[in-house]
Chain A
Amino acid sequence: MMGLDAQTAMRLTYFIGLGIAALGSGLGLGRAVAAAMEATGRQPEASGKILVSMIVGCAFIEALTIYALISVYIMGK
């Protein structure tokens, strides 16, 4: 039976790592959007400003998952 060589193990681990990165970003974005929803519920007049801040915050959180994706692109060629 053939064991895992280094190349295969690396590729397998990339997918698992990417899944964990997506999980982290899902949790973080969930918290951010939940906070934005709550703030909009308290003061619906400010919903425009809250929306813009939420979008910007989501872009930062999303960037961390994008870094993981980029590393897969670079290594996987």
Chain B
Amino acid sequence: MPMGHAGTESAVGETSAVALVQVAGGHGDGRESERPEVPSGLDLLASLRVAERPFHPFDLKAVNPRTGKTILVPVKFTIAEAIRAYQNQFFALMLVAVVAAVLARRLKRISFRQPGRFQVLVEMFVEAFRDLVCGVLGEKNGRRYLPYVGSLFLFIFLSNLMGLVPFLRSPTSVYQTTFALGVCTFLYVQFTAVTRNGILRYLYHMAGEPKGESLFMTLFMWAMGICLLLPLHLLGELIKPISLSLRLFGNILGEDVLLGVFVTFGISLMGVFGLKEPWPGLPLQVPFFFLALLTSTIQALVFALLSMVYLMMVLPHDEHEEAAHQEKAA
């Protein structure tokens, strides 16, 4: 299965397998990217009809002869090309739809005394994650923020793993998806900070909590806080979604490119034996599947864990100490 899905493409025109791997990492138009990626099913479908032009719904610029202004003219495109241009969002949507459908169908009857196997599996996952989240956030806050962190972990984990399945591609291998996830976490954390602490306390914390003994000291520290510490804290807050998203994106894209490079190498290595185009290449990328499994799991866990830690930092701290006291007592 991993051997043939890049080499068995016979398109109209002179698209060879290696060229397909090169183009699949591109942008859906004729531009080649320097990042070879294994083509997904939609890439293969869209390449059956070789696209001469980049995909835009409105492409041609025509000049209206009466007024002399340029207008955009809609061009014809195939459905395959259109979906291929948005394939990462398509795969993300398909992932969520399939998971939701499977869960809704299999968990119609939840039994307390005689749970079925699927229910036990889901409960295992939820309980493990609940222990992790409640250990960091405390009992009450943990139960409240568990849905977000758990869904985040599940989505990222399954999205990362989709890159290893033959005709799919990870939606997290493009920066759009991971940036969206980072922005979601950022907005949720800031919203929690403002609503749980109040807007004044939030600004007070951003300015570095200036409090001095005398009036002059307080004013001085307020000035210092607003001039120096406020921009620094703002920058620190803004860098959090960027670092989250870049870490996930870099790891997953790096894994996909690694697989693509070794697929290319395996295909071109068959030339040593004199076997050319329709033969599948040597499966040199199989050892890297295990590395990709490890990286996918770890990056999903790190993203979810960091989101949890950011939430913990903005929540009121006395509840956190209460949880620590409970753990010491138990």
On A, residues with C-beta under 8 Å from B are: 55-56, 59-60, 62-63, 66-67, 69-70, 73, 76-77
Whole-angstrom CA separation of A37 from B272 in the bound complex: 44
Given A66-B246, A70-B246, 18 other A-B residues pairs in contact with their CB atoms under 8 A? A56-B298, A56-B301, A56-B302, A56-B305, A59-B301, A60-B302, A62-B251, A63-B246, A66-B247, A66-B251, A66-B254, A67-B247, A69-B254, A70-B249, A70-B250, A73-B35, A77-B33, A77-B34
CB of B299 closer than 8 Å to a CB of A: yes
State the interface size on chain B (CB cutoff 8 A): 16
Q: Please measure, in the bound complex, the distance between the C-alpha atom of A60 and the C-alpha atom of B299, giving whole angstroms.
A: 10
B246 to chain A minimum Cβ distance, whole angstroms, is 6
Give the residues in chain A near B35, CB-CB below 8 Å: 73
Q: Judge if B243 is at the interface, Cβ distance under 8 Å.
A: yes
Q: Which of A55, A63, A76 has its CB near the most chain B CB atoms (within 10 A)?
A: A63
B residues lining the A interface (CB < 8 Å): 33-35, 243, 246-247, 249-251, 253-254, 298-299, 301-302, 305
Question: Which 10 A-B pairs have CB atoms at the shortest separation, nearest pair first?
Answer: A66-B250, A63-B247, A59-B302, A70-B250, A59-B298, A55-B298, A70-B246, A67-B246, A69-B250, A66-B251
Q: Are A59 and B254 in contact (CB under 8 A)?
A: no
Q: CA separation between A66 and B258, bound complex, in Å?
A: 14
Q: How far is the CA of A77 from the CA of B27 in the complex (A)?
A: 11
List 12 A-B pairs, Cβ < 8 Å: A56-B301, A59-B299, A59-B302, A63-B246, A66-B246, A67-B243, A67-B247, A67-B250, A69-B250, A76-B34, A77-B33, A77-B34
How far apart are the CA atoms of A77 and B32 in the complex, in Å? 10
Nearest-neighbor residue (CB-CB) of A69 within chain B: B250
CB distance from A29 to the nearest CB of B (A): 13
Nearest-CB residue, chain A, relative to B257? A73
Select from chain B the residue with minimum beta-carbon distance to A70: B250
What is the minimal beta-carbon distance from B209 to any residue of chain A, in angstroms? 27
